[in-house]
Amino acid sequence: MKYYLTTPIYYVNAAPHLGTAYSTFAADLIKRFKKMEGYDPVVLTTGSDEHSLKVERAAQAADVNPLAYTTKMAAEFISQWAKLGIDYDHFIRTSDPKHHETVRWLFERCKKNGYIYKGSYTGAYCVSDEAYVNDVNPGDPCPTCGNPTETVTEENYFFKLSAFQKPLLELYEKSPEFVKPDHRRNEMIAFVQQGLNDLSITRTNIQWGIPAPVEGHHVFYVWFDALISYMSAVKDDDLWPADLHLIGKDILRFHAVYWPAFLMAADLPLPKKIFAHGWILHEDNKMSKSRGNVVRPGPIVDVVGADALRYFLLREITFGQDGSFSYDALIQRYNADLANGLGNLASRTLTMIHQYRNGVIPDSPGSSDIAEAARRTTEITMDAFCEFNFSRGLETLWSFISVIDKFIVERAPWKLGKDTSDFAQKMLDEVLYSAAEALRILSAWTHPVMPNSARNIWIQLGMTAPIESVTFADLHWGKLPAGQKIGSVAAVFPRVDASAIVKMENLEVQEKARQAELFGAAKAAVSSAVTPEASAAAGGEKISIDDFVKVELRVGQVVSAERVKGADKLLHMKVDIGEEQPRTIVAGIAESYPAEAMLGRKVVIVANLAPRKLRGIESNGMIVAASLEGGKPVLAGFLEDVPVGARLK
RNA sequence: GCCGGCGUAGCUCACUUGGUUAGAGCGACGGUCUCAUAAUCCGUAGGUAGCAGGUUCGAGUCCUGCCGCCGGCACCA
């Protein structure tokens, strides 16, 4: 029976970091686990999401065509995955002609079934960026460049998402396994119950995208492109539907709502399961470029190996929840679990077999207590892994390790070795066989999580069949052949000390610089010292002084401020900017600035912004604040005292 | 603001439907063994189960209120 699973396809504007590596590690683990369960073939798809205006611009700035640009970026992912030892089968790029064909095919099917219509899309458009701005109301300032947006209407193709409210709710109801974990499923139900709006699925202002098979220039918009790659990758292989889409919680809605709706519209089978995992936090903070706390996997792999990182992430973090990464915690777990635990068990067991039995596995049925412990360990771990509860599964395996360690100490084989009586020698055989057999089972079990280290132990045990071919049927007690000659012993997880952290941190600095150069190739072509983000933030083009003076910035003083009822972020203020009446301004700053703190405060106001109603209150202007990605706004202010009404220019 | 979740030892978490002195791993401390990677093993310390009430013979477990944290939506950016 086949098993087809996918990672998200990764957007090529940023290099792989710990979060993307995490998704991919987990997918790789599940692939190997499913193989052990006996599924065949087990196919894993990953890839790159390459179309967008932003990519088009970045390529332009780098003075290369978009395909050349994204090829370079995709190559970075491919080389990272190689370094991390990811065993994927397909790397699908959305720029692949095969994918273009699939997208158009799916579009035609949806259209034939009556779920596509041409309509007009009205949205906020930023003239200076020449781009539609999503999730912004017309008249709001553009989030990228800050210029006011305009309301523009454009002919677009729409997907009738609204028609799928009921079918989706039925799907969630009938297939409780479709969205996992359960609380995510509940969120999706709540979201769909609120009603669904049709989706605009094409754009006319983008060149770098998949042309829609319609009159005029229309290119498919992100989700009616990226999602379909899961299908494109295996279109000819009879693998659809996917058994699992593994994703991060941030893109759940697209996978759990849009994607099944597209497929239903096209009358195609639905994926079996969408599993949303959590985020990796860096020392309890969300990783983001603007905070500069992004951790990359490469340096960690260079110092402690990919297996150690994989083990850490999957053991430390309950799969599905957010979790925290720190170099410190990594090293601690490495030493405690891998070096002192599994590594040491392998080392002591194999050394004793060399020492007392000339490197030959003794002939003994082993201890029945240990055999029973092994059986229960497999049973519990199997349940945990089947539910993708990897941390629980690993915990179970490690408690088995401690059972063996305890068993060895109780039987004291080093004493038995000195006792030549038959009884003692038979007992010694039993101890050594039990430990070795436990080790064989443990290495097979840990193979999906730590492929290289597990193979290492497997080979040291003298096993000849490739560990990749092991299935759970091979895990029964007693399958370790007596008389087998074991290999030479070498530490699988040498202990590391705090200097490893320094090494990783130093390498991280280098890796950051390397990636910045790679992904910042645009900067050389644009202008001397601007990064791609900065140039994008500046709108990608220069404006004249005339453009600037159109924006009337004035100093104002807050004369009253109160929270807007029913909104977390809104502050309703009256601001004196030297006019007869104070202006009414509603601003989304309440989370960082309580009303009391605003009273009397001098602020910078965009005075000639078109009025806009927010929660029923007409706002006449906007307060200038630094807006950090994912962070709270910080108000602009002055170091010297400035009279109310003064113009900024 | 609406909906949902969580709050148990220094850290990470467990405790099946309410039932004896609330457990585990890591970390700390003390001891032990010598096969082993200053590893293993044994032991010790450490918890008013967020706070306050209530139901009950009995509550970490059920109910209410409050405090704190998180997620989704709204809203904002």
Residue A533 domain flag: no
Run of H or E including A646 = none
Given a cut of 70, is residue A505 above it in pLDDT?
Answer: yes
- Is residue A426 located within the same domain as residue A466? yes
Listed residues A256, A283, A298: the one ending a domain: A298
Nearest alpha-carbon partner for A57 in A543, A542, A540: A540
A561 pLDDT above the threshold of 90 = no
pLDDT in tens, A514-558: 887 777 654 433 332 223 333 333 333 455 666 677 778 888 888
Give the distance, in angstroms, between residue A401 CA and nucleotide B14 C1'.
19
Does A156 share its domain with A24? yes
Residue A389 (CA) to nucleotide B43 (C1'), in angstroms, measures: 33
Is the distance from CB of A121 to CB of A153 less than 8 angstroms?
Answer: yes
Q: Evaluate whether residue A481 is within a structural domain.
A: no
Q: Is A385 exposed, middle or buried (0-12, 13-18, 19+ CB in 10 A)?
A: buried
pLDDT of A547: 63
- Start-to-end CA distance of chain A, whole Å, equals 69
Residue with the larger pLDDT of the pair A315 and A568: A315
Instruction: Specify whether A288 is located in the same domain as A412.
Output: no
A326 touches strand B (CB under 7 A): no
Q: Which residues are A148's β-sheet partners?
A: A141
- Is residue A450 situated within a structural domain? yes
Based on the fold, state whether residues A23 and A155 are members of the same structural domain: yes
Per the domain annotation, does A114 fall within a domain? yes
Q: What pLDDT, on the 0 to 100 scale, is given for residue A513?
A: 83
pLDDT band at A465 (very low <50, low <70, confident <90, very high): very high
Residue at the smallest CA–C1' distance to nucleotide B36: A348
Task: State the Cα–Cα distance between residues A632 and A626, nearest whole angstrom.
Answer: 9
User: Residue A366 above 60 pLDDT?
Assistant: yes
Please report where in the chains the tokens 């009159």 appear, as a residue: A215
pLDDT surpasses 80 at A402:
yes
Domain count, chain A: 3
Region A116-130 average pLDDT: 68
- Domain endpoint, select from A298, A316, A351: A298
Stretch A306-319: mean pLDDT: 92
What's the confidence (pLDDT) of residue A563?
75
Q: How far is the CA of A313 from the C1' of B35 (A)?
A: 32
Measured in angstroms, what separates residue A303's CA from nucleotide B26's C1'?
A: 22
Cβ of residue A418 lies below 7 Å from strand B: no
Average pLDDT, chain A: 85
Check whether residue A576 and residue A440 sit in a common domain. no
Q: Give the CA-trace dihedral at A428, A433, A439, A445, to 10 degrees.
A: -150
Residue A308 near residue A456, CB atoms below 8 Å:
no
* Least confident segment among A323-327, A524-528, A550-554, A574-578: A524-528
- If we measure between CA atoms, which residue out of A55, A50, A46, A53 comes closest to residue A20? A46
**Through-space separation of residue A613 CA and nucleotide B66 C1' in angstroms:** 36
Q: Is the CB of A186 under 7 A from strand B?
A: yes
Evaluate if the CB of A493 falls below 7 Å from strand B: yes
Tokens 């412990």 -> residue: A373
Of the three residues A475, A490, A509, the one that is the final residue of a domain is A475
What is the β-pairing status of strands A42-49 and A90-93?
parallel
**What one-character-per-residue DSSP string does A177-193 give?**
TSEESHHHHHHHHHHHH
Q: Does some domain include residue A511?
A: no
| A596 and A450 housed in the same domain | no
Q: Which two tokens stand for residue A35?
A: 């193989």
Percentage of chain A beyond pLDDT 70 is 87
Asked whether strand B has any atom less than 7 Å from the CB of A285, the reply is no
Q: What is the CATH number of the domain that holds A113?
A: 3.40.50.620
Q: What is the pLDDT of residues A192-240, one digit of tens each?
A: 988 888 888 988 888 889 999 998 888 998 889 999 999 999 988 889 8
- Confirm whether A306 is domain-assigned: no
Decide if pLDDT at A152 tops 70. no
**A59 shares a domain with A166:** yes
Please tell me which residue lies nearest to nucleotide B13, judged from CA to C1'.
A318
Helix (H) or strand (E) holding A367: none
What is the C-alpha separation between A101 and A387, in angstroms, rounded? 36
- CA A408 to C1' B31, whole Å: 19
Determine whether the distance from the CB of A632 to the nearest atom of strand B is below 7 Å. Answer: no
Which of residues 233 to 252 on A have a Cβ less than 7 angstroms from any strand B atom?
249-250
Length A341 CA → B28 C1' (Å): 20
Q: Are residues A243 and A379 in the same domain?
A: no
CA A293 to C1' B65 (Å) is: 41
Q: What is the DSSP letter of A531?
A: -
**How far apart, in whole angstroms, are the C-alpha atoms of residue A524 and residue A541?**
15
CATH of the domain at A422: 1.10.730.10
Q: Are residues A15 and A156 in the same domain?
A: yes
Whether A159 contacts A224, CB under 8 Å: yes
Strand B nucleotides within a 7 Å radius of protein CB atoms: 1, 3-5, 12-14, 24-27, 33-42, 70-77
A552: domain CATH number is 2.40.50.140
Report the distance from CA of residue A398 to the C1' of nucleotide B7 in Å, as an integer: 28
Q: How far apart are CA A307 and CA A372, in angstroms?
A: 29
Spatial distance between the Cα atoms of A203 and A211, rounded to a whole number of angstroms: 10
Per-residue pLDDT at A370 exceeds 70: yes
Q: Is the CB of A587 under 7 A from strand B?
A: yes
Does A251 reside within a domain? yes
Q: State how far the Cα of A487 lies from the Cα of A462, in Å rounded to an integer.
A: 5
Which nucleotide is nearest, taking the CA of residue A435 and each C1'? B35
Residue with CA nearest C1' of nucleotide B74: A567
Cβ of A599: how many Cβ atoms within 10 Å?
13
The answer as to whether A313 is a domain residue is no
- Nucleotide of closest approach to A623 (CA, C1'): B77
The boundaries of the domain holding residue A42 are 3-298
Q: Clarify whether residues A289 and A388 are in a common domain.
A: no
Q: Are residues A334 and A268 in the same domain?
A: no
Which pLDDT band, with edges at 50, 70 and 90, does A616 fall under?
low
**Do A549 and A622 sit in the same domain of this protein?**
yes
